[in-house]
Amino acid sequence: MSILVKRTHVLGHHAGVILLIMFSALGPSLAGGQTPQAPDPIGNISIRMDLKQFVPETMTVPEGRYYLSFTQALLVGDVPVQLADAKGKLLIDTKVPKGQARIRQLVKLTPGQYSFRIPGSSQWACNISVTAK
């Protein structure tokens, strides 16, 4: 929301202060005459747990915001999952509770390498390569 306050004089005599209030739901950039930019769209990354591996095992996506969806078709119980960057920093560290088939979380991915995995298991991993736009 933007508020513009302006003092005016009428015919050379001080007639008080006229308040001009401008509300903008799109933010302060409109008050300055700038055109607002649309936010980047949110993409989708879907990873599924099969009998022997994650599907897909690898993928490449451009940098941006994504809903990362993970589905465990086996419903084997609590399944811990993590999304980590190449340095080991965790972006997601959660578990899919027993009886629940899917989780979905919003992540922002910058260029680099990531691994979506079950902690401590090399079999259950999906390597994600993120490229610059």
> Residues 24-78: pLDDT tens digits?
344 444 455 567 777 789 999 999 998 889 999 999 999 999 999 999 877 677 8
Question: Residue 96: left (phi > 0), alpha (psi -120 to 50), or beta?
Answer: beta
Instruction: Let me know: does 86 contact 109? Beta carbons within 8 Å.
Output: no
- The domains of the chain are located at 1-32, 42-131
Which helix or strand (DSSP H or E) is residue 57 part of?
A: none
- Determine the topology of domain 42-131 in CATH: Immunoglobulin-like (2.60.40)
What's the predicted TM-score (pTM) here? 0.69
With CA atoms as reference, report the closest residue to 95 among 113, 123, 76. 76
Phi, psi of 106 (to 5 degrees): -85, 130
> Residues 79-101: pLDDT tens digits?
899 999 999 999 999 988 877 88
